[in-house]
Amino acid sequence: MIDHKDKNINKIAMPSAKKIIEEKNLDILDIAGTGFDGRVTKGDVLLYLNQIKGIKKPEVENLSNKNIKNERKGNGMDVLVPVLGESVVEATVSKWIKKQGDFVEVDEPIVELETDKVTLEVPAATSGILDNLAVSEGDTVEVGALLAMIVAGEKTDQNSKTSKTQEPKISEEPKNIPEKVEKTQTTTNSGFVEEFADKSLEERVPMSRLRQAIARRLKEAQNTAAMLTTYNEVDMSALMEMRKNYQDSFEKKNGVRLGYMSFFVKASIDALKQFPAVNAEIDSNDIVYKNYYNIGVAVGTSQGLVVPVLKNADKMSFGETELSISNFGKKAKDGSLGINDMAGGTFTISNGGVYGSLMSSPILNPPQSGILGMHKIQNRPVAIDNQIQIRPMMYLALSYDHRIIDGREAVSFLVRIKEIIEDPRRLVVGA
């Protein structure tokens, strides 16, 4: 980590945050840091600036970026965009759950916001009438921005019912089905001409906001990073034998099955400590080395890919790691993952093998600089001591940002993971 410290205080600002602080002539002591060890991030500064718009400095001395509180003004209370997680400074208003003039109870959901990672509902901090809707569905809002106001009012028959959009009436008359599909000629986006196109057999479905966000972030990763992928293969025999020998006792002690992912998490942390550039990120013209290990585990859902994060995974036991991964999988399926579950990752592991993938090139999860791809275990003939043997093999892929990670580091990183997986005892003895 590159520390940027003010000469008069011990508070630390990240490079991009420090730049804004200097440009705006701000006092870092007024800004609450949400980064590692209380470091002030760019998002913290933007949030602070958003909070003090139109407010005199003495009035904001006690404001906290960690917990944005909806401020009461007169007989009303502002509803603000909450903190969305580390490095997440904006969201999209996906849906107003309550409408102008509706009566809302305390903790009742008012509006639904979407970020690149998750969908969340903003609850009412007080009871009253929803008024002064400041944004519309589809608008992009920053952390701390005004969403609406809740004013004092009593519940009545008129405002107790949330207005609902009426469903369009379905015509009872059957559609005329053409006896013959006429020959048509259509030019597609790719430039090819399709003949005999029957448009009645096509289905056009709008992309969800989450899918749009995923598409945008993945494309940004390709456009921004100098992304390169290196490959290796690993003999899974030793790990499979160890798992077989200790599966029953492990499950009895920890209440969860022993999987392969916990070994790859531990192996990745070991390799990250040896090659810290893989655990770093680029911030403006600085390289930020992260001396903590928050490992993201990619999970596929019906709505898209999400990456919950194992915070301080280096301090977790194998049992804690497997249990956390299992809980993340359950929460991903029922859509209960929160912002905090997916914030702060420093390195990601993706397992395409669960879907049968034999080989792939994973795409970086910005602003991270490395992602490990696991794949299907397949019995293949390999040369062992100049003899052909059948072994359970897995292809590994490491995609990395070549701007800060050299090829030698990337290859050595992957070789280190291979060494540990092929001899898991190394994790115990530190060899």
Q: Which residues are catalytic?
A: 402, 406
Tell me, what DSSP letter sits at residue 330?
A: H
- Which of 234, 263, 215 lies closest to 363 in space, CA to CA? 215
Whole-angstrom distance, CA of residue 24 vs CA of residue 360: 45
Other C-beta atoms closer than 10 Å to the C-beta of 410 total: 23
| Structural tokens at position 336 | 């209960």
224's tokens: 């921004």
Written as one string, the DSSP assignment of 107-156 is T-EEEEEE-SS-EEEEEPSS-EEEE-----TT-EEETT-EEEEEE-----
Among residues 275, 286, 234, the alpha carbon closest in space to that of 391 is found at 234
What is the C-alpha separation between 410 and 419, in angstroms, rounded?
14
Q: How far is CA 137 from the centre of its chain?
A: 22
d(CA 74, CA 77): 8
Q: Compute how many other C-beta atoms are within 10 angstroms of the C-beta atom of residue 294.
A: 21
Contacts of 393 (CB under 8 A, 6+ apart): 233, 234, 235, 236, 377, 378, 379, 380, 382
Q: Take residue 320 and report the two structure tokens written for it.
A: 């804690």
CB-based contacts of 187, cutoff 8 Å, min separation 6:
193, 194
Q: Which of 240, 287, 276 is nearest to 412 (CA)?
A: 276
- Residue 197, SS3? coil
Cβ within 8 Å of residue 430, ≥6 positions away = none
Cβ atoms of 35 and 43 closer than 8 Å: no
Q: Which of 115, 149, 146 is nearest to 132 (CA)?
A: 149
